[in-house]
Structure 1
């Protein structure tokens, strides 16, 4: 199938694997969308996300938490860090935002978010922000999330970021609720009470 045929293929005939392939192609080079996405690209991504959600194999995800448990890596989000906020955090010239993970322990009803940072030219300062939360089932597809605590490690990175801790939490704190609108063996899509969309892939 050439590119034109693929583009003209009716949405209802596209398999989940094909939609995922198109999604991963669409998010190439945008750093998970955190530093902004051009509107045409964003519309394409959102359309693919909606297509996946329409084929959700686990519509009552909160009642099947075994599907949700484990470690996930963020591949796309509508959370954005732009302008003065990005400058204040040092994410233009000083810090590099690396991988963002979420580990979900179903038996303990706990979720741990890990945001990794590199400090340019100073590997000794490389580290992470860890945010711990608990959750409880609110409906068939929704969980309520309660923030517990956060830490920055190692100490050297904490000394750099401690004045920006509240700003980091305002961006990455998961407290509120989360609707799981798609989950299978390799991908999960959620939307929080702030209107943000998250797409994660299962990670080791």
Structure 2
């Protein structure tokens, strides 16, 4: 089933090029994989720690036609918002999530603007939810934002004033594959970068550099 999901998402450019029919087919395969989740409480399992590459993001329901407006789609709300300002010259290159054992998380989006490489990093904290779903769900609070574009100095801003929050539910987890659902209605598929045993003990700073 995991191989079926990998094959289904491989040509979608992280979901960006997936048609409605492909989204529905991928969702069926994802739901079958979720039903076979081998880890009972993934939000409390050390396998959650590490660097995860985004393979796919799409709607978490067949009838959901507004998830892109709520989530910003594959590229996220910040890069998606840049597109109309730059005549469609902003191109996403890859998205990585780093979850560290100290309860910190980093969402790293690499992109290009007119041929110049850039990196957007939104960092925060994660903790098992206190709503009775702490075994599968973590609450996320974003605390910092940084933007690096070419040789320009890095721009860093704290987000404590706004304190954006949300939750992520891990619905499938094994040594190298993870499926989750977000509070805005998306479903996502990620693959681990590197080996789980090497990443389980990494603090956030070290994990983000690997």
TM above 0.5, yes or no, is yes
Q: 1:38 to 1:21 in 2, by over 3 A?
A: same
The structure number with the bigger radius of gyration is 1
For structure 2, list consecutive stretches of 5 or more residues without a partner in the other structure.
Answer: 59-70, 195-210
Name the structure 2 match of 1:88. Answer: 84
Q: 1:81 to 1:100 in 2, by over 3 A?
A: closer
CA-to-partner distance for each residue in 1:109-149, whole Å, 9 max, x for gaps?
000110001234x3xx3120001010111111111100101
Name the structure 2 match of 1:14. Answer: none
Q: In the comparison of the two structures, how many residue pairs are matched?
A: 169
Q: 1:91: Cα distance to partner?
A: 7.6
Name the structure 2 match of 1:188. Answer: 178
Name the structure 2 match of 1:102. Answer: 97
What's the secondary structure of 2:180's corresponding residue?
strand
- Cα distance in structure 1, aligned partners of 2:153 and 2:51: 24
Structure having the larger proportion of residues in helix: 1
Work out whether residues 133 and 175 of structure 1, in 8 Å CA contact, stay in contact via their aligned partners in 2.
Answer: no
Q: Report which structure shows greater RCO (CA 8 Å, sep ≥6).
A: 2
- Length-normalised TM-score, structure 2: 0.71
For structure 1, list consecutive stretches of 5 or more residues without a partner in the other structure.
Answer: 1-18
> Cα RMSD (Å) of the superposition?
2.9
One of 96, 104, 113 as aligned partner of 2:107: 113
Work out whether residues 128 and 152 of structure 1, in 8 Å CA contact, stay in contact via their aligned partners in 2.
Answer: yes
Name the structure 1 match of 2:55. Answer: 75
